[in-house]
Structure 1
Amino acid sequence: MDIVVTVLSSLAEQLQKPTLAFLIAGMVLAAMGSKFEVPEPVYKFIVILLLLKVGMGAGIAVRDANFLELFVPALGAAFVGITIVLLGSRTLARRKGISEVDALATVGLFGAVSASTLAAGMAILDDAGMFYEGFIGALYPFMDIAALVTAIVMARMSAARRAAGSVTVNAGGTMTAGGGSGMGGPGKGVIEEGLLKNILVDTLRSPAISALLAGLALGLLSDPKSVYGSFYEPLFRGLLSILMLIMGMEAWARVSEMRKVAHAYILYGVTAPLIHGMIGFGAGLIAHELTGFSAGGVVLLAVMAASSSDISGPPTMRGALPDANPSAYVGTSTGIGTPVAILSIPLFIALAETFIG
């Protein structure tokens, strides 16, 4: 009974936080038929500012870390982010009635990182007196960007394959419409190879990912701390709240799409943080064996894997996958995944004490 009360209280707390509260406010406005509207150019400007800020913060953290100590855990973090997306593409995205683009946007957020959940994990370890490396925050972008880019590329690949599904490669090398060439048909590998390259390049050039990578490069290669602290940091939460309001209105407009498959998202939101956390814990154990990565570091890598993005992920998905339903990916990640991830932190601490000591 106590665990039920804890889960409900954690969920109620999340509902009061700006990310989810403004999303719900937008849904209420849309349900009331409000004419509230944010002009598209203003929306795009907000997204660019948000992603530049996230990228710069990550770049500054990476630059200030010891590269040799950071390398193995960072490689593990990127691997975990990609693995989570690939796993989700074989589970949630395969459920009957679920849109593949909605599923991949959702698993992309679950593969990315929640800064608030990571901060909660650090605070719990501080209270417990458990040591962890100072560069832990620098692992954030490796898992975050790896997961988001993987999910976006997979979603675009899927959409492109569906659009080109009627293209047939003839024996003479010409293409005609009206039926695929079948498994292993002539030219299939060439088409897939060119398709992947074009979509990957297009993804990296997209406004959302470009802004994120530009911010990362600025944080790594320059010294933007003064403008970061005086301009981007103070504006961040306010701009994020406006973005959530916009996404809430969009979510309500498409809520009917969710009614038949909501149970699948609830099941994923409850179970995924635990499974993903165990994947992150395993990667942390490998880093511990190879480099002496601390028990606290292993716990926080598991916490990052268990968390789901509430900052960088939603605007990135909104910009890169506009057809994805925000009520699916934001509602599942922030509304369900975040409370479960926070509640799982003591489990990862107990596991670290058992396996590492």
Structure 2
Amino acid sequence: MDFLSEFLTKFGAQLQSPTLGFLIGGIIIAAFGSRLQIPDAIYKFIVFMLLMKVGLKGGVAIRNADLAQMLLPALFAAVVGILIVFIGRYTLANLPGVKTTDAIATAGLFGAVSGSTLAAGITVLEAQGITYEPWAGALYPFMDIPALVTAIVVASIYTSKQKQRRAAEENLSKQEALSKQPVAAGGYPSEPEYPTTRQEYRNQQRGAASNRVEIWPIVKESLQGSALSALLLGLALGLLTRPESVVDSFYEPLFRGLLSILMLVMGMEAWSRINELRKVAQWYAIYAFVAPLLHGFIAFGLGMIAHYATGFSPGGVALLAVIAASSSDISGPPTLRAGIPSANPSAYIGASTAVGTPVAIALGIPLYIGLAQTLISS
């Protein structure tokens, strides 16, 4: 009962957080038919500001880190971020009624990292006097960015193939309609220029489509997108310049206020598409409960490898698992909204904020810290 009481207390605390509060507020006013609108230009500016701040802070943290010791954990963080996307692509996307683009976006959000969950994990480690590398918090962009890029690329490849398949079906239907037209007296039908059966035509079109889909142009287009461009620009500036004064005097004071407006917009948009989610909400709830724990265990196992190979600390192993269990509440939603516009925000934001984040904080943090303390001797 004590464990359940603690879980419910932390779950209630999450519902009272400003980030989630503004999201719920947006849903409520939209549900009551409010005509409140945030101009798209303001929304884009807010997204730019938030992602620049996240990138700048991440770049500064990486620049100040010991790169030699950081190499293996950073590699594992990137691997986990990419792997999470493919896990969701071939599990959640195959459940009844779940749209593939929604599943990919949800997996991308769970592969990205929550800054609030990371901060909570660090706070618990420090409160319990558990040592961890000063640069461990800087692992989040190594997981966050690959996960978001992978999700956008995978979704782009899927939608491109779907468009090509629909175009092929339309062409075939037109040819079948022409072939059924009566031939004038004395005339002779010309030799068919297309395969004689629908299956042959589909097979031919699938082969042609698979040859035409090139990954690099999609990756390039994804990286040139407004959201990822801002994130990567901030990361580069944090690495190569000294932006601390600008971050502290300009970006940091505005951050929480801008984030609250962004969550309000997300809430209103989520409500506008809530009917699409109601049909399959149970699958997202199951995924959002299981995924954080599964992802954390995968990262914990890789962190143990880094521990035995490089001396990665118990706190560092636990923190790697915590960021893997988290789902992004800052960079992820606007990046996915811009990169996968066909995905339903109700799916990936709802799964993350309603279930995923409370599970990661209330269950994941104490679980992985306890495992690290038990399995790794001081």
TM-score after normalising by structure 1: 0.93
- 1:120 maps to 120
CA contact (8 A) 1:14 1:335 kept: no
What is the Cα deviation at residue 57 of structure 1?
0.8
User: Does the alignment pair 1:229 with 2:248?
Assistant: yes
- 2:51 maps to 51
User: Does the alignment pair 1:67 with 2:93?
Assistant: no
- 1:204 maps to 223
Unpaired segments of 5 or more residues in structure 1? none
Paired positions, count: 351
CA radius of gyration, larger in: 2
Q: Mark the CA change 1:233 to 1:181 in structure 2 (over 3 Å): closer, same or farther.
A: same
Give the whole-Å Cα distance in 2 for the aligned partners of 1:310 and 1:59. Answer: 19
CA contact (8 A) 2:109 2:333 kept: yes
Give the whole-Å Cα distance in 2 for the aligned partners of 1:255 and 1:186. Answer: 37
Matches within 5 A, 1:74-113: 74-113=74-113
Give the whole-Å Cα distance in 2 for the aligned partners of 1:325 and 1:11. Answer: 25
User: Does the alignment pair 1:216 with 2:229?
Assistant: no
SS at match of 1:129: coil
Identical-residue share of aligned pairs (%) = 55
SS at match of 2:133: coil
SS at match of 1:165: helix
- 1:352 maps to 372
CA contact (8 A) 2:18 2:260 kept: yes
What is the Cα deviation at residue 46 of structure 1?
0.9
CA contact (8 A) 1:167 1:175 kept: no
CA contact (8 A) 1:299 1:352 kept: yes
Matches within 5 A, 1:1-12: 1-12=1-12
User: Deviations along 1:232-278, whole A, 9 cap, x unmatched?
Assistant: 11111111111111111111111111111111111111111110110
User: Deviations along 1:213-235, whole A, 9 cap, x unmatched?
Assistant: 01111111111111111111111
Matches within 5 A, 1:121-160: 121-160=121-160
- AA at the equivalent of 1:70: M
Q: Mark the CA change 1:184 to 1:278 in structure 2 (over 3 Å): closer, same or farther.
A: farther
User: Does the alignment pair 1:336 with 2:355?
Assistant: yes
Give the whole-Å Cα distance in 2 for the aligned partners of 1:285 and 1:161. Answer: 39
What is the Cα deviation at residue 2 of structure 1?
3.3
- 1:311 maps to 330
- AA at the equivalent of 1:302: A
User: Does the alignment pair 1:182 with 2:203?
Assistant: yes
CA contact (8 A) 1:118 1:303 kept: yes
CA contact (8 A) 1:113 1:143 kept: yes
What is the Cα deviation at residue 290 of structure 1?
1.5
Give the whole-Å Cα distance in 2 for the aligned partners of 1:26 and 1:96. Answer: 29
CA contact (8 A) 1:11 1:336 kept: no
- AA at the equivalent of 1:51: L
Give the whole-Å Cα distance in 1 for the aligned partners of 2:158 and 2:67. Answer: 36
CA contact (8 A) 1:309 1:334 kept: no
Give the whole-Å Cα distance in 2 for the aligned partners of 1:68 and 1:322. Answer: 39
Q: Mark the CA change 1:228 to 1:129 in structure 2 (over 3 Å): closer, same or farther.
A: same
User: Deviations along 1:60-118, whole A, 9 cap, x unmatched?
Assistant: 11111111111111001000111111111111111111121211111111111111111
Q: Mark the CA change 1:167 to 1:274 in structure 2 (over 3 Å): closer, same or farther.
A: same
- 1:281 maps to 300
Give the whole-Å Cα distance in 1 for the aligned partners of 2:359 and 2:220. Answer: 35
Give the whole-Å Cα distance in 1 for the aligned partners of 2:295 and 2:375. Answer: 18
- 2:182 maps to none
SS at match of 1:213: helix
CA contact (8 A) 1:78 1:147 kept: yes
Give the whole-Å Cα distance in 1 for the aligned partners of 2:300 and 2:278. Answer: 34
Give the whole-Å Cα distance in 1 for the aligned partners of 2:124 and 2:221. Answer: 41
User: Does the alignment pair 1:325 with 2:344?
Assistant: yes
SS at match of 1:107: helix
Stretches of 4+ moved more than 3 A in 1?
Answer: 1-4, 166-169, 178-181, 183-189
User: Deviations along 1:299-347, whole A, 9 cap, x unmatched?
Assistant: 1101111111111111111222222222211121122111111122222
Name whichever of 201-210 and 321-330 sits farther off.
321-330
Give the whole-Å Cα distance in 2 for the aligned partners of 1:346 and 1:166. Answer: 49
Give the whole-Å Cα distance in 1 for the aligned partners of 2:7 and 2:135. Answer: 31
CA contact (8 A) 1:97 1:261 kept: yes
CA contact (8 A) 2:112 2:326 kept: yes
- 1:16 maps to 16
What is the Cα deviation at residue 11 of structure 1?
2.1
Give the whole-Å Cα distance in 2 for the aligned partners of 1:303 and 1:319. Answer: 26
